[in-house]
Structure 1
Amino acid sequence: DHIKAYWVMLGKATAQTALHFGANDLDGTITDGGELTHAYAAEGEVKMTKAEIITMIQNAGFEAVERDTVYNRVVEAAV
């Protein structure tokens, strides 16, 4: 099982904290119709670059790993 920390709704700091409490999937994918998500975004942000997400995970003390839709490791993430 996997637990997502959806940083757009939680905010970056809370999403990082969620990693320490068992979340193992930092998520933030936004679809083209993301107006509702934008309206409820915790910090008013709805986008981060791959490098920003990797840095956020590493700053929380974890290894950033890219995975496919069934959680198989694709590549080690690098900034």
Structure 2
Amino acid sequence: MQFWFNTKTGQVESGDDPERARSADLMGPYESEADAARAYEIAAERTAAWDEEDRAEDEWATGDAGASNWDNNPLND
């Protein structure tokens, strides 16, 4: 069974629930109820990992570890 986290209510909803909220209010699916309950934490972990991947790719491509940092670009002043 799959589970979703409802961002409006803060509740976990199961995939077979006929009263499940509309998809715009849901994060998931997750394999377990416990994972769905950690939806925000999991999203933050994934975002941090993607940010690190982007930083590493930018460093590899440019040789500059801060290349992807908006504040390091002199054109953004």
Query: Which TM-score applies when normalising by structure 2?
Result: 0.24
More helix by share: 2
Bigger Rg, structure 1 or 2: 2
Query: Which TM-score applies when normalising by structure 1?
Result: 0.24
